[in-house]
Amino acid sequence: MFKYRISIIGKVFSLLFILWACGTSHTTVEVDGRLVAIDSLTIPEKDRQVDSVIAIYRVAMEKEMNQVLAHSAHVMQRGSPEGLLNNFVADLIMETGQQLYTPVDGRPIDFTLLNYGGLRTGIPKGPVTRARIFELMPFENEMVVLTLSPGNTLRAFEYLAASERGMPVSGIRLHVESNAVKKVSIQGAPFDASRNYKVLTSDYLAGGGDNMVFFLNPENEELLGKRIRDAIIDYLVKQNNLGRQIESKLDGRIKTE
């Protein structure tokens, strides 16, 4: 009899617990709301004071973006295995990097390697505005010098040889046959498999961007403290101040068979 009563009491408590749990876990919440139509009548009017302040900055920005930085002797477009735009950007970045870089070990930059996809638009013949350069290079990429082992340097050349698109390079001449490296020279000297090489690139590519994994884990990494876009702008302004047009040429720095 005692065990039976205990059993009945236990079942009663269990039933009460279930009813309590069910009652507390399904709370109904009512939310009031109303539809607001968005049309010409309900859109608030512009704050004239705020709009006038914005207009001042808009005019100033448009004036700055429409500023002519230089004049181009011809149209420059990216291309493969090399292109006028590829060579122009790579060469000016190489020149700028050499001016900025002060090597602790006394060894200068050996070559420059950028990416085809980083060049977003071409340069027209005639006036070249600041806005055009922002379209060409819309990224905030920084210039960086990486010291690569001989193995990773060779992998960089193999990447170039296998690529279907021409990467902007400067300081090297690469002969490719059947998507493989046939011959390569750096600053006019044959590739030396016993020494490290310094390559100037962007911080995006230095992090393995565009599958350039040979840049990961370099022997050394040195930021130059300048954005690639700013380097292009500064170069154009300098050439314009010297009374020179900007120009480029194809020189066979990457040959394919």
| 221 has a pLDDT exceeding 80 | yes
3-class DSSP assignment, residue 167: coil
Query: What confidence tens digit (pLDDT) does each residue in 84-120 have?
Result: 999 999 999 999 999 999 999 999 999 999 999 999 9
Question: What DSSP character marks residue 21?
Answer: H
pLDDT tier at 191, thresholds 50, 70, 90: very high
pLDDT of residue 12: 41
Q: State what percent of residues in the chain have pLDDT above 90.
A: 75
Report CA 131 to chain centroid distance, whole Å.
Answer: 18
Q: What is the mean pLDDT of residues 145-172?
A: 97
Q: In the chain, where does DSSP find H-type helix?
A: 2-25, 48-65, 84-100, 130-136, 150-162, 203-206, 228-241
pLDDT of residue 61: 78
Confidence at 62, pLDDT banded by 50, 70, 90: confident
pLDDT for 26 beyond 70: no
Domains along the chain? 72-256 (3.90.780.10)
What is the rounded CA–CA span in Å between residue 115 and residue 174? 16
4 CB neighbour count, 10 Å cutoff: 8
Q: Contact at 8 Å (CB) between 69 and 133?
A: yes
DSSP 8-class letter at 170: E
- Provide the terminal-to-terminal Cα distance of the chain, rounded to the nearest Å: 100
State mean pLDDT over 46-53. 64
pLDDT band, residue 37 (cuts 50/70/90): low
Could you tell me the pLDDT band of residue 134, with boundaries at 50, 70 and 90?
Answer: very high
